Structure 1
Amino acid sequence: MDTINKFKKYSILFIAFIGLAVGQSCTDKFEEINTSPVGVTDDQANADYALIASFLAQAQRDIIPEDVGEYQLANNLCSDAYGGYFGAQAPFVGNANNLTYSLVQGWYQAIWVQRYIKAMNPLYRVIELTKEDQNLQDIYAFSLVLKVAAMHRTSDKVGPIIYSKYNVINDDGGISYDSQEQAYTLFFEDLNKAIDILKTIQNNEDSPAMQKADLAYTSKRYSHWLKFANTLRLRLALRIAYVNPTLAKTEGEKALDPVNGGLLENVVDNCYITLSVDHPLNIITSSWSDTRLGAPFESILRGYNDPRLPKLFLTATDPAVAGQYKGIRSGINIDAKSRYDNYSKLQPQAMKMQLMVAPESWFLKAEAALRGWSNAGDAKTNYETGIDRSFEMYNLTAQASAYKNDATSMAMPYVDPKAVKSGENDVAASSPYLSKITIKWDDAATSATKLERIITQKWIAIFPDGDEAWAEYRRTGYPILFPVVVNYSGGTIPTIPGVRRMPYPQREYNSNSAAVAEAVEMLGGQDNGGTRLWWDVADKTF
């Protein structure tokens, strides 16, 4: 894992290019950076939309980072593991690392680098270039959607973020944060602006600028991104359903109203960003040999006899578990990388990054129907259609019916035959941390059970989007995941319910101290991994 030196390099880039307050040496350069970031005028660079296309390509490829080092630190050793998808077989930092709740400063600063330097900065630039240009309103709308898609992931990892005040310098040289509640209100406002524009042009031919800028779709781009924006609005509406049910319902019903353009409902609507390099998970899995199947994912998919599992992972080659799909539990004692190196590897990924898929929209609609939101349809139909769409993604349509009607299969107990101490990583059938939810829809079940069923299937269907998996786990408590065995947090992160957020990087304390202090006040707790975010309420009664 060649990442610490990489982030020393990014410290220089951070000072040189980002519009965040990182001391006087940075603020002196704001005008220069904003005027001509690449040494040419906007008119020169925009003659063939080259500047717009290059900025938006960078932003799209850093909503979820294509850079392998950034992805490993910001995602794979964070949300991918906390969401139950992956486990790490290496005892990084003497096994005192994110997975054992000794949060590594040099790791979680990657979230800041990735989203602000590589996503927010180019998006801010394009928005400033296009917001008043009537010939580029499509690009303005597209940029707003991408901005929300990127920055909600940042907020969902840390809480309060720099959003509305981005590039607005305070008298002390700092830049102020928005609370997470304020940020979500702004997310909805930006999506509303974008959707209003995209609705009016959804049937138009794609402009030359849009053809160059969009890395996801090859036709009907306005219609597709309109559906993406509505599905994103529904995702964010449900995220706040416990903490602000009134606003959640209002925004969710806007997303569900067919007059606003619809959702991502079919597999052809799936949103994947074309990458310029190999998928980072391929490198982390094979070249670096740093990640393997996560134990909760193994337990649930093997217990369900889920035909998607072979599409996602390879069987293990370790003699102790050869021929099985075997995952690593996160937060355990690991003495050497070789102990788990031959557990199940990820199947090779295509050179594209998944941002959002149609099955998610159906599971979102299923939950919205449970909550009684207008135009949500029937919860059972939505739930089963979500499964159908997921199976279709993997060419498994013929097996979907039997799977949906399985009323008995549930997660299987987890056994780790290679644990440092025999049995310490196992999760028995009687454990409260082993999911008991079955697959088949049951109209007679409680609302809480229906929600668990929906979220568990959504979790499977959106793989490998660890950001969303971890966010939904914190919001709902589902799917039921395994707690850590080893907790090196020094009491700052409870083993149950587990890590809730990532702290702010030391760079912010060094260069934007007053603003980050206000952000921590907005957070309502200490700046550590145990403090809940605004939408992560303790009482999750449905």
Structure 2
Amino acid sequence: MKKIISLAVLLVLLGACTKNFEEINSNPYQITDESLTQDFNHVGAYFQGLLSNLQGHQVEEDLATDSFVRHFGTPTPFVSNRNNTTYYITWNSFWGRIYNSVMSPSRQVIKIAEEGGYDVFAAWAKFIQVMGLSRLTAYHGPLIYSEYGKPTTPILYDSEKTLYDSFFRVIDETQAVFAANKTYPGLKKFDASYGGDITKWIKLMNSMRLRLAIRLSKADPTLAKQQGEKAIADAGGLILTNADNFNISLYGAKMPLAVICFEWQDTRMGAGMEEFLVGLKDPRIGKYFAPAKDASLYTDHPAFPYKGIASGAYLGAKDDRQLYSEVSEDWKSVTSRRFFTAAEVHFALAEAALRGWAGAGDAKTHYEEGIKMSFQNWGAGGVDTYLADATSTPINYVDPKDSRNSYTTRSTVTVAWDETATKEEKLEKIITQKWIDALTNANEVWCDHRRTGYPKLHYVPKNDSNQDWGIIPADGFLQRMPFVDAERNSNPEGVADATTKLGGPDLISTRLYFAPAGPNFPDEP
């Protein structure tokens, strides 16, 4: 009898052990599929990489767009002083960043999200694709978008017109999803910019629509006006205050500009920045740059102790210009990168007002508000005095190390608004201030410069353009980056087709769709 009872007890104990076996023997620190799904990690974990790769590093920006718009100049004679900055293409890698680190993982996110019913995450990834490709098309023109990821040969590119039509369509679709899910909590953990605030993302979407509309205002005035007015009228609003600025977290990394300047000693203030900031007595100069370390470098304007390097300069030894103005020490401590600011939106609205777009408001009001938002965002004072200055103009540039780099300014622009000025003169003011504000975020002002001709930037002193990549005249500017070698080698038929859609040869001299030659206001006498 005792043996039967003991056996019964043992069976009960074994049953209890078996019942709790999985719980007892599970690793409490192991990430399970269930926990991934509950926390949205299986779709959300991708977004840090997607967002942080929307902008580039040294060869994609500092030695490309930042140089093309004269924000920065390098003291380093890379590749025997013949490279992108002198219009001989040496680096061309932004394509790889966007396709490998934005398009490829976002495609995977979209697949996972759509299969799992995570509509907001799918829409978010699609919008980020637009954010990335809208920057990349400003480099090359036609891109692979509608055919991306399809197992076809060749892989065909979309024309620029098709791309912009697609961008606006995707913004429509993603904005509809976000508008229907304003309280959705899923993005918060993965959104270092807005903390998952859907309403702020809607403002960014409207602002992106306005940005692209302004970009197309010369190429397709009808579509631009339609899309611009749509952005302005949308109930979700625009980025109009700095509290709504879209900044992309560095996620603990160092600001690329600080690394390039302080650790590598490869960048300095651009001569264009010296020309305009010193000439216009701009208080933002001290927020952007540090004084030069040798007083003999700025004897032409001792009250403003700054010295820049011309883009495309004749350079000797790297050490020759190390004492020119570095960037401000403040760049060492920044934790995010500017991508879309209230200042840009106000400048876009000022231009929209000049073009007669409904709801844009008053050009003067938005112009001045854009400057005020910029001063506030950069932490500069003295904005009222600056706005009232109707006499200061950009200065000539002097390079104390090599007179071949010196030049006479091409601009006579002033800061104070003049209601009696022509539309062209008003547009020059707007775009010049937009350019000044856009330091470290040059993509859109590079577009502005190519489509409007403003600001009136200096020509490169050392022009190495030739038949290899296209010839830029001495009084001209690089218009685009060529299609990448990886595509030429792996997708030659696709590149050949893209070149027909480009409307000209695959050269740096071919104007892109959004920047046709001609006046900005054809109807103005």
TM-score (norm 2): 0.88
Asked if 1:410 corresponds to 2:393, the answer is: yes
Asked if 1:90 corresponds to 2:71, the answer is: no
Report if aligned partners of 2:389, 2:414 keep a CA contact under 8 Å in 1: yes
* Matched residue, 2:265: 289
Asked if 1:100 corresponds to 2:82, the answer is: no
Letter in 2 for 1:235: R
Report if aligned partners of 2:110, 2:125 keep a CA contact under 8 Å in 1: yes
How far is 1:132 from its partner?
6.1
* Matched residue, 1:341: 322
* Matched residue, 1:262: 237
- Residue 517 (structure 1) aligned to one of 490, 496, 503: 496
Mapped to 2, the partners of 1:232 and 1:497 lie a distance apart of 29
Letter in 1 for 2:369: T
How far is 1:145 from its partner?
2.1
* Matched residue, 1:493: 471
- Residue 287 (structure 2) aligned to one of 294, 311, 319: 311
Asked if 1:273 corresponds to 2:263, the answer is: no
Structure 2: gaps (5+ residues): 1-30, 299-303
- Deviation track 1:351-400 (CA, whole Å, cap 9, x = no partner) reads 21111111110000000111111110111111111111111113335x11
Report if aligned partners of 2:450, 2:479 keep a CA contact under 8 Å in 1: yes
Mapped to 1, the partners of 2:491 and 2:219 lie a distance apart of 29
* Matched residue, 1:48: 39
* Matched residue, 1:62: 53
* Matched residue, 1:427: 407
Report if aligned partners of 2:271, 2:397 keep a CA contact under 8 Å in 1: yes
Partner-residue secondary structure (3-state), 2:346: helix
Letter in 2 for 1:63: L
Mapped to 2, the partners of 1:43 and 1:393 lie a distance apart of 43
* Matched residue, 2:58: 72
Letter in 2 for 1:265: L
TM-score (norm 1): 0.85
Report if aligned partners of 1:60, 1:215 keep a CA contact under 8 Å in 2: no
Partner-residue secondary structure (3-state), 2:247: strand
Mapped to 1, the partners of 2:100 and 2:399 lie a distance apart of 41
- Deviation track 1:60-110 (CA, whole Å, cap 9, x = no partner) reads 000003xxxxx1111110001101110111110001100111111xx10x1
Residues 43 and 396 from structure 1, CA distance in 2 versus in 1: closer, same or farther, beyond 3 angstroms?
A: same
- Residue 350 (structure 2) aligned to one of 361, 366, 370: 366
- Residue 426 (structure 2) aligned to one of 440, 446, 450: 450
Mapped to 2, the partners of 1:307 and 1:352 lie a distance apart of 22
Mapped to 2, the partners of 1:191 and 1:345 lie a distance apart of 39
How far is 1:540 from its partner?
3.0
Partner-residue secondary structure (3-state), 2:297: coil
* Matched residue, 1:10: none
Asked if 1:301 corresponds to 2:272, the answer is: no
How far is 1:144 from its partner?
2.3
Report if aligned partners of 2:452, 2:520 keep a CA contact under 8 Å in 1: no
Mapped to 2, the partners of 1:318 and 1:52 lie a distance apart of 53
Asked if 1:532 corresponds to 2:523, the answer is: no
Report if aligned partners of 2:43, 2:113 keep a CA contact under 8 Å in 1: no
- Deviation track 1:24-66 (CA, whole Å, cap 9, x = no partner) reads xxxxxxxxxxxxxxxx99877544222322211100000003x
Mapped to 2, the partners of 1:183 and 1:307 lie a distance apart of 39
Mapped to 2, the partners of 1:42 and 1:325 lie a distance apart of 57
Report if aligned partners of 1:179, 1:519 keep a CA contact under 8 Å in 2: yes
Structure 1: gaps (5+ residues): 1-39, 66-70
> Percent sequence identity over matched residues?
37
Report if aligned partners of 1:216, 1:271 keep a CA contact under 8 Å in 2: yes
Report if aligned partners of 1:406, 1:439 keep a CA contact under 8 Å in 2: yes
Tell me how large the CA RMSD over aligned residues is. 1.8
Report if aligned partners of 1:332, 1:484 keep a CA contact under 8 Å in 2: yes
Asked if 1:213 corresponds to 2:193, the answer is: no
* Matched residue, 1:5: none
* Matched residue, 2:126: 144
Partner-residue secondary structure (3-state), 2:405: coil
